[in-house]
Amino acid sequence: MRTIRAIRFLMVPFALGVWGCGLLPQVEMGPVLGTQQAGLTPFNPSSAPLAGSLTGSFLPPGVVPSGPLSARVDAMAGAVMPANGPGGVVLVVRDRQITHLAGYGLAGLAAATPYTPSTVQDLASCSKAFTAFAALVLHERGSLSLDDPVTRFIPELARSSAPQRPIQVRDLMNMTSGLADYLELIPDLKSVPSNAEVAVTVGNAPRRFSTGSRHVYSNTDYVMLALLVERAAGTRFAEFLRREIFSPLGMTATQVVDDPANQPANRADPCTWNAARNRWDVDPNVARIVGDGQVFTCGNDLAKWILELDRPTRIRPDTLAMAFQRGRTDDGQEVEYGFGWFCGGSPGARYVNHAGAWNGVSTYVVFHPDLHSAVYVISNNDGLDAAGLGDRIDALVAPARAAQYPSAKAAASRAFRKPPALPLP
């Protein structure tokens, strides 16, 4: 048996197409799934071709891309998500139209279950956009103000040492709070039953830097933001998102998983390649902490989410626009993070993006508010460079952004919840 060490990832900028590295978690592994059981030759990622070098791909029945853009997307995605290995979904929205929505590869390796647009998986850090959206819903209703001291809702943080100004709600959203990294403080994720316990642990630790002095990518801030939303709304965070976002938008397959025993239906096996044993291992989802991750969804529902970002119905457009604006430090310096999104581009050509990685999953989204366009990539293979694939596809959707990929990728990389390099038992 392996133990869990609570370090989800270390944010490290990296060159285009190269993973970050750092202190990573060790998790107990689930059952080993082999495609040989289903009569397929197991896909070995070490021998996979580069995206775009193959034209064939696996598409689930009834999902047939059409048009030149979709054909090129199909070639790129199929090259890195072949029929005999873990797969995923690629969604492309262009000028408010869904121009590509297709599944590739396998959701379940043992039974050779196809990965389709209705297959569900964890979004990892791409979940943060939903946490920020929930806070903006409450802000618009007057249940909280972005300038409120966080201790109004989370008194556990009052003990966080440092003679400085109080942490405000917007500090959590822009990741300028300075709160300690909870993943470095908690030795075993399975032992933590709730976000409230994280608040106690973090509240007893010194801040990493003076609040408002700079931006440092922080999972802690979004765990605390989820707890704040929960207390301001007077209901569980998972229930608030279901009631106020998922259900009204028709995202019927989407949920926040805050209990490992309550796994969603039609969930993809989260896969990690075990090079030493030449096989795919399946990582369990043991986390109970939400806000920085744990939104489970599918391609069909993500299409509805992108359309909501383009024409919001749950909050006013001017309220949502705040999410796509860069934050500022107390001395007026811009930071690259808005509310749940990295922000880039220029007036008339803005984009926001985010990436995520966790045990067995890799995700990426880029949204162009001015072009009414987006690309979303989700995969149940934590070794897949979802951001790299997403940016190559985005070059077809928004060619003018292609020159910005290296800097955009470096920013997005800091959102990765990088999966572990697993030791042998």
What is the DSSP secondary-structure string of 201-223? HHHTS--SS-TTS-----HHHHH
Q: Of the candidates 304, 309, 359, which has an alpha carbon nearest to the alpha carbon of residue 117?
A: 304
Highest mean pLDDT among 16-20, 194-198, 261-265: 194-198
| Rounded Cα distance, 172 and 163, in Å | 18
Task: Among 45-49, 214-218, 348-352, name the one with the lowest average pLDDT.
Answer: 45-49
Which domains, from first to last, does the chain contain? Answer: 35-413 (3.40.710.10)
Where is pLDDT greater, at 40 or 279? 279
**pLDDT band of 163, cuts 50, 70, 90:** low
Task: Among 24-38, 283-297, 307-321, 336-350, name the one with the lowest average pLDDT.
Answer: 24-38
Whether residue 165 is predicted with pLDDT greater than 60 in this model: the reply is: yes
**pLDDT band of 400, cuts 50, 70, 90:** confident
Strand partners, 120: 267
* Angle at which helices 195-203 and 219-233 cross, to 10°: 120
Burial of 19 (0-12, 13-18, 19+ CB in 10 A): middle
0.85 surpassed by pTM: no
Phi (first) and psi of residue 69, to 5 degrees: -65, -45
Q: Are 328 and 115 in contact (CB under 8 A)?
A: no
Give tens-digit pLDDT for 313-332. Answer: 999 999 999 999 999 999 99
Q: How many of the other CB atoms lie within 10 Å of CB of 272?
A: 24
Tell me the three-class secondary structure of 43-103, residue by residue.
CCHHHCCCCCCCCCCCCCCCCCCCCHHHHHHHHHHHHHCCCCCECEEEEEEECCEEEEEEE
Instruction: Give the chain's mean pLDDT.
Output: 82
Whether residue 168 is predicted with pLDDT greater than 80 in this model: the reply is: yes
Highest mean pLDDT among 47-56, 292-301, 415-424: 292-301
What torsion, rounded to 10 degrees, do the Cα atoms 62, 65, 67, 68 define? Answer: -150
- pLDDT for the residue 93: 96
Find how far residue 3's CA is from the centre of its chain: 24
Give tens-digit pLDDT for 111-146. Answer: 999 999 999 999 999 999 999 999 999 999 999 999
Residue carrying the six token digits 């775009």: 52
DSSP tag of 244: I
Residues 6+ apart with CB under 8 A from 216: 11, 175, 176, 178, 208, 209
| Rounded Cα distance, 154 and 203, in Å | 9
| Rounded Cα distance, 256 and 112, in Å | 27
What SS3 state is found at 409?
Answer: helix
How is residue 261 written in tokens? Answer: 């025993």
- pLDDT for the residue 142: 97
- pLDDT for the residue 128: 98
DSSP tag of 125: G
Which H or E element spans position 309? Answer: helix 299-310
